[in-house]
DNA sequence: ATGAAAGCGCTAACAG
DNA sequence: CTGTTAGCGCTTTCAT
């Protein structure tokens, strides 16, 4: 038995296809054929190769494979903020569905910052990812579009843009549903509050839905407050205000529609700290229905997004696009968004 | 009729170094030198190459680069469960610190299942990752060790094993601290509860600390309950029991040390649903100090792990190992773990 | 049924 | 200073 030179894998470079070939006494093409399960290899040879493979602990070098194939199985995933449970769940689902379709996910957390969003995408591009999944898209749409359009398939999943496939809920509708719920239980002064981390297209669409619902019900001017938790500081229509004053002052708003659950829970926390009772003194509705929202102690009324469905459809869409099963102009797939009424909303105690 | 836009993949392949070279009228080595910022390229040439690069939108193909360099800048990150806020935060920190040291993170979520843990690691190996960061290690230590030891640098970050560098808190100490806190406020019957998702080495170490604290204080036999939320079902010492009975029956336990915050919050939720008051009827301490634990409505007493510090040291360790700045046998770096007393713990209402 | 050979896009000597 | 050359590990015709 000729012992190959590199038979001790204890240390050093991983075995290559050549190591396997020489150990099995065949050519590397044959090894390649076995590895890829191609037909036309005799049973005996196939077996010998298999032996060599696991004696050496050989694994094909994906980089080399993908270099020659001129395409990778890597899917870039742009996540807004992993610390936001909604994104964390989405990331998890996306990874699972990607794996199920043979893709490896490469995440890139953007800290909600369009600077690092761009940088992250550049990195993904350098890895020649087969496609990019945006789970949040806050950045400069122009630059990003220029950089990506017609270069690599892109899907916006639970976010949106007009230059790629999108799979998301109807945020405008969600905004209306939430606002209407508040109106129906009796609120007249309802504020829309967003926090710095999320002021993207989805946020805008939700805000639109909110405005429309207000208008249809003939309710006063919409009010958009950009709040920076945990401080008291907020800005309304470019004007500095404090959240406390908004929630307790003259003509106080009795209800808040937050742009997402994290914001909603922050508002709730704020209320708890300043002694405002929820829902007696303040009703809150969020967006996303993160797991936490369902806890008895939080009991947040919110708009549920079907996370797993979004992820599944998102991956299906981009995979089809990559594999050319889907051609033509960008598609839009909307999935349902449902109001989940819990305990953070109730009629106002002293209706205006 | 609008002209249909085509979002299909790039019309042409991405430009290669050769495209740049010919456009700039130089050789590809020169382009390479410019791209890598090597000295010894005249200002004029450098400029011409730069022009060509951004006219073409050229980005080096990392796969090709890493293939020839025989090493990647990819760091594999094995995450237990991204839906657990502790891991989500860690993942985020790890990614940031990795990027700061020039590495790209490739995550792999294991669903707490050692089957997919192994599969995930195989994938990472196929990508020839420069190193692997375990944020959780629940799998079959034997197989994993055999597969990885001496093949690729490994760091266990906020988890542990004896065959790689580890950066973590002293879980045994944490277990003691938490248990002692409970004992000090007056509890005598304290249970340790873990949920299926986390029964790894860290869990074991925390359990040990718990046992030791109990022993030192001369308190009754330790009690390990494996609970499957949200059901009532639990198993104690291989015996089927119900959580309600454990918390309300004869000789009920008045306090619970949960293996982590997610478990602790689940216990709290369970208590809320069955009408047990926390902390009056039941004290709870968790482990990790996830952001949620600090909410006024949760107010969980817990053991804080310095997440960012763990991530930073973890990355520093593996990067040093990869770059051969660190040699020799595996190192262990322990960082502080602190008790954060909040409102989920108090003296028992009717001491036994 | 198997092997030989030509690259994939890039880096890294080594020449000129 | 710039170009030439030889691969990295693999897939993929095309011969044998």
Is B147 in contact with A57 (Cβ distance < 8 A)?
yes
Res A6: pLDDT: 35
Res A142: pLDDT: 85
A201 and A322: one domain?
Answer: no
* A162 inside domain: yes
B299 and B185: one domain?
Answer: yes
Q: pLDDT tens, position by position, for chain A (352 residues)?
A: 333 333 333 357 899 999 999 999 999 999 999 999 999 899 999 999 999 999 999 999 999 999 999 999 999 999 989 999 999 999 999 999 999 999 999 999 888 788 889 999 999 999 999 999 999 987 677 889 999 988 999 999 999 999 999 999 999 999 999 999 999 999 999 999 999 876 688 999 999 999 999 999 999 899 999 999 999 999 999 999 999 999 999 999 999 999 999 999 999 999 999 999 999 999 999 999 999 999 999 999 999 999 999 999 999 999 999 999 999 999 999 999 999 999 999 999 864 4
Res A350: pLDDT: 67
Res B1: pLDDT: 34
Chain A closest CA to B270's CA: distance in Å? 9
DSSP A217-284: TT-----EEEE-TTSSEEEETTEEEEHHHHHHSTT---EEEESSHHHHHHHHHHHHHHT--TTTT-EE
What is the distance of C-alpha B246 from the center of its chain?
31
Check if residue A29 sits with its Cβ under 7 angstroms from strand C: yes
Res A9: pLDDT: 36
* A31 inside domain: yes
Res A214: pLDDT: 97
Using a CB–CB cutoff of 8 Å, tell me whether B8 touches chain A.
yes
How many structural domains comprise chain A?
3
CB A65 within 8 A of CB B74: no
Res A5: pLDDT: 36
Output the domain CATH number for residue A29. 1.10.260.40
B274 and B221: one domain?
Answer: yes
Using a CB–CB cutoff of 8 Å, tell me whether A115 touches chain B.
no
CB B159 within 8 A of CB B137: yes
Using a CB–CB cutoff of 8 Å, tell me whether A30 touches chain B.
no
* CA nearest to B54 within chain A: A147
B75 and B184: one domain?
Answer: no
A313 and A165: one domain?
Answer: yes
Lateral strand order in the sheet of B131-134: B104-109, B74-79, B131-134, B154-157, B165-169, B332-335
Chain C nucleotides with an atom closer than 7 Å to a protein C-beta: 1-5, 7-13
Reading phi first (left if > 0) and then psi (alpha if -120 to 50, else beta), residue B212 is in alpha
Distances (CA, A) of A208 to A136, A185, A237, A341: 18, 21, 15, 21
Bridge partners (DSSP) listed for residue A226 = A194, A235
A199 and A293: one domain?
Answer: yes
Q: Which residues have C-beta within 8 Å of that of residue A299, sequence separation ≥ 6?
A: A293, A342, A343, A344
User: Would you tell me which residues 130-149 of chain B have a C-beta closer than 8 angstroms to some C-beta of chain A?
Assistant: 147
A253 and A205: one domain?
Answer: yes
A104 and A225: one domain?
Answer: no
- Between CA B338 and CA B289 the distance in angstroms is 9
Res A111: pLDDT: 82
B140 and B77: one domain?
Answer: yes
Residues of chain A with Cβ-Cβ distance to B64 below 8 Å are: 67
* A345 inside domain: no
Question: Which domain covers residue A222, as residue numbers?
Answer: 171-305
Chain B closest CA to A84's CA: distance in Å? 8
Check if residue B189 sits with its Cβ under 7 angstroms from strand C: no
DSSP three-state, residue B317: helix
* B278 inside domain: yes
Residues of chain A with Cβ-Cβ distance to B59 below 8 Å are: 122, 125-126
Residues with pLDDT less than 50, chain B: 1-10, 351-352
A221 closest CA partner among A241, A193, A191: A191
A38 and A140: one domain?
Answer: no
* B23 inside domain: yes
Q: What is the pLDDT of residues B32-77, one digit of tens each?
A: 999 999 998 999 999 999 999 999 999 999 999 999 999 999 999 9
Structure tokens belonging to residue B192: 């340790």
Res B114: pLDDT: 82
Using a CB–CB cutoff of 8 Å, tell me whether A12 touches chain B.
no
- Between CA B256 and CA B244 the distance in angstroms is 13
Res B198: pLDDT: 62
> What's phi and psi for B220, nearest 5 deg?
-35, 175
A163 and A86: one domain?
Answer: yes
Chain A closest CA to B207's CA: distance in Å? 26
Q: Would you call the peptide bond into B230 cis, given omega within 30 degrees of 0 as the criterion?
A: yes
* A311 inside domain: yes
Residues of chain A with Cβ-Cβ distance to B263 below 8 Å are: none
Check if residue A28 sits with its Cβ under 7 angstroms from strand C: yes
Estimate in Å the CA A27 to C1' D15 gap, whole number: 14
Lateral strand order in the sheet of A154-157: A104-109, A74-79, A131-134, A154-157, A165-169, A332-335
**pTM of the predicted model, to two decimals?**
0.93
Output the domain CATH number for residue A258. 3.40.50.2300
* B140 inside domain: yes
Query: How many C-beta atoms lie closer than 10 Å to residue B4's C-beta?
Result: 9
A30 closest CA partner among A15, A47, A13, A14: A47
The B 45-84 residues near strand D by Cβ under 7 Å are 45-46, 64, 67-68, 70
A152 and A179: one domain?
Answer: no
- Between CA B144 and CA B121 the distance in angstroms is 9
* A38 inside domain: yes
Question: Smallest Cβ distance to A126: which of B62, B125, B272?
Answer: B62
């Amino acid at each position: 038995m000729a012992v190959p030179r590199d038979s001790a894998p204890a240390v050093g470079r991983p075995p290559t296809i050549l190591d396997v070939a020489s150990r099995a006494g065949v050519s590397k093409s044959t090894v390649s054929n076995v590895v890829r399960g191609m037909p036309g290899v005799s049973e005996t040879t196939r077996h010998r190769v298999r032996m060599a493979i696991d004696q050496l602990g050989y694994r094909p070098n994906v980089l080399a494979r993908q270099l020659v194939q001129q395409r990778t199985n890597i899917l870039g995933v742009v996540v807004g903020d992993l610390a936001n449970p909604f994104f964390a769940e989405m990331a998890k689902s996306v990874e699972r569905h990607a794996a199920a379709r043979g893709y490896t996910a490469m995440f890139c957390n953007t800290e909600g910052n369009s600077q690092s969003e761009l940088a992250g995408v550049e990195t993904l591009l350098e890895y020649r990812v087969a496609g990019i999944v945006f789970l949040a898209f806050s950045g400069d749409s122009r630059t990003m579009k220029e950089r990506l359009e017609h270069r690599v398939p892109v899907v916006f999943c639970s976010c949106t843009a007009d230059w790629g496939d999108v799979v998301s809920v109807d945020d405008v509708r969600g905004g209306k549903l939430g606002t209407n719920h508040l109106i129906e239980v009796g609120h007249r002064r309802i504020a829309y509050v967003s926090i710095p981390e999320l002021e993207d297209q989805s946020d805008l669409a939700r805000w639109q839905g909110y405005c429309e619902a207000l208008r249809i019900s003939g309710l006063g001017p919409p009010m958009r407050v950009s709040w920076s938790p945990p401080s008291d500081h907020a800005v309304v229509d470019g004007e500095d205000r404090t959240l406390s004053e908004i929630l307790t002052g003259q003509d106080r708003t009795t209800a808040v529609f937050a742009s997402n659950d994290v914001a909603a829970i922050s508002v709730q926390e704020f209320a708890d700290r300043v002694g405002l009772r929820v829902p007696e003194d303040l009703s809150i509705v969020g967006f996303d229905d993160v797991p936490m929202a369902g806890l008895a102690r939080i009991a947040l009324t919110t708009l549920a997004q079907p996370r797993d469905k979004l992820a599944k459809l998102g991956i299906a869409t981009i995979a089809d696009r990559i594999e050319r099963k889907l051609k033509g102009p960008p598609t839009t797939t909307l999935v349902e968004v449902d109001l989940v009424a819990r305990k953070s909303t109730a009629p106002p105690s002293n209706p205006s």
